[in-house]
């Protein structure tokens, strides 16, 4: 049996994607799964649906922040709300596709997420802020930036987002296992139920 894949649509501007990437790791190890990342331009989707997060009622935004901090405390994560929020995420999303070519996509995404959601470093929205991360991962930052800014990678990101929309992805993180879709950081129990069913049906 080939290695089971877990797909995840993500965007660096999503708080819940930060948590989902942390919380899914034990499942990857427990069920020997491969995580397949799909960048999803959430800002583009929001604009097309005339949705603006920061225009939600202030009481809802306050409650959301309190709830996020509860999650951080529960799982011992160094999460914080960055001073600069939201940010434009397209350069990070493009960069992830470039790093995929070097076999370092997940490492890149995790480092960028930590820089923004733990250290509050909004410079990751610009190539100048991404260059040190790329260099740390052993990739030439000039080549990275040149390819990230190319029409080829722009088209690849648009295709990834459009494919997600075709699959009825409406938000991130969207986790897909065996064609079952699970939205949000708080669906790991259901994700595990699906993985358990698969492992029982196809024991190694």
* DSSP code of residue 184: S
Helices 105-117/127-136 angle, 10° precision: 130
Interatomic CA distance for residues 14 and 52, integer angstroms = 13
Q: Hey, what are 61's tokens?
A: 């935004």
- What domains can be seen in the chain, in order of their start residue? 5-201 (3.40.30.10)
| Residue 81: partners with Cβ closer than 8 Å, 6 or more residues away | 15, 65, 68
- What is the chain's pLDDT, residue by residue, as a tens digit (204 residues)? 578 999 999 999 999 999 999 999 999 999 999 999 999 999 888 787 776 777 778 898 899 999 999 999 999 999 999 999 999 999 999 999 999 999 999 999 999 999 999 999 999 999 999 999 999 999 999 999 999 999 999 999 999 999 999 999 999 999 999 999 999 999 999 999 999 999 888 776
pTM of the model: 0.94
- Give the number of C-alpha atoms closer than 13 A to the C-alpha of residue 58, restricted to the C-beta side: 0
């Amino acid at each position: 049996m080939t290695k089971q894949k877990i797909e995840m649509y993500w965007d660096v501007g999503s708080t819940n994607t930060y948590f989902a990437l942390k919380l899914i790791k034990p499942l990857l190890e427990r069920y020997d799964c491969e995580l397949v990342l799909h960048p999803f331009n959430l800002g583009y989707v929001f604009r097309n649906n005339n949705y603006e997060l920061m225009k939600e009622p202030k009481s809802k935004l306050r409650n959301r922040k309190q709830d996020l901090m509860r999650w951080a405390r529960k799982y011992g994560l160094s999460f914080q709300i960055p001073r600069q929020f939201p940010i434009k995420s397209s350069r990070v999303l493009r960069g992830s596709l470039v790093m995929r070519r070097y076999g370092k996509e997940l490492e890149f995404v995790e480092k960028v997420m930590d820089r923004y959601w733990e250290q509050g470093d909004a410079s990751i929205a610009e190539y100048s802020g991404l260059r040190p991360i790329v260099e740390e991962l052993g990739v030439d930052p000039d080549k990275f930036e040149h390819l990230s800014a190319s029409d080829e990678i722009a088209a690849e990101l648009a295709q990834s987002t459009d494919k997600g929309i075709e699959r009825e992805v409406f938000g991130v993180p969207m986790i897909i296992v065996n064609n079952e879709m699970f939205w949000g950081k708080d669906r790991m129990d259901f994700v595990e139920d699906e993985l358990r069913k698969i492992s029982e049906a196809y024991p190694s």
